[in-house]
Amino acid sequence: MYCTNCGIDLGPAAKFCSTCGNSLAEAPPAPLKVRDWDFHVNVLGWLVIAHAAMVGFIGLIVMFGGQFVHKLLTDNPRLLENADPNDVPPPEVLAALVPVTFVIGVLFMVIALPSIIAGIGLLRYRSWGRALTIVLSFLRLLEVPFGTATAVYSFWVLLSEDGKRFYNERAARAEG
């Protein structure tokens, strides 16, 4: 037997290290910390849904913001009267403002939809919800800072051994 503190070779029946005085008695094992995986899956599900709601809300702002700016500039032509002529957008840009911002806003909402579906799948413990969340998390890594944080949390909850085992067990019960 060797001392766990200083590493000296001791006899097999030693209770203390003769060099450093370290006790060689078996300490009771520390209680295992059990994580509340149900809590983490629920938090993750709501985070994914909240993130998607923010992206969808930004889409709505872009859609209606473009219409608002277009209406503001067309109803008040004198608004840009004192501006530098090089800074005033040409009429073609004003004409394209509404359709372009509408399409961009719709794209934001379309991008948000799979995340809402994934979050619902997580909250209901569906195996496809886990898979969809993992795929979307890879894309979400680029959405600094909130998307990146959500993606890292997703990877920890859904890809750790304990988290994966817990989720698969719950999914089997939910889907069975």
- Output the average pLDDT for the chain: 89
Has residue 20 been placed in a domain? no
Has residue 95 been placed in a domain? yes
Burial of 27 from C-beta contacts in 10 A (0-12 / 13-18 / 19+): exposed
Band of residue 102 on the pLDDT scale cut at 50, 70, 90:
very high
Q: Identify the domain containing residue 139 by its residue range.
A: 37-175
This prediction's pTM: 0.74
- Mean pLDDT, to the nearest integer, of 56-81? 91
DSSP annotation of 79 = G
pLDDT tops 80 at residue 168:
yes
Has residue 10 been placed in a domain? no
Is the torsion defined by CA of 54, 56, 61, 62 positive or negative? positive
How many distinct structural domains can be found in the chain? Answer: 1
Has residue 59 been placed in a domain? yes
- Mean pLDDT, to the nearest integer, of 42-68? 96
Q: What is the pLDDT of residues 109-160, one digit of tens each?
A: 999 999 999 999 999 999 999 999 999 999 999 989 989 999 999 999 999 9
**Residue 30 has what pLDDT?**
54
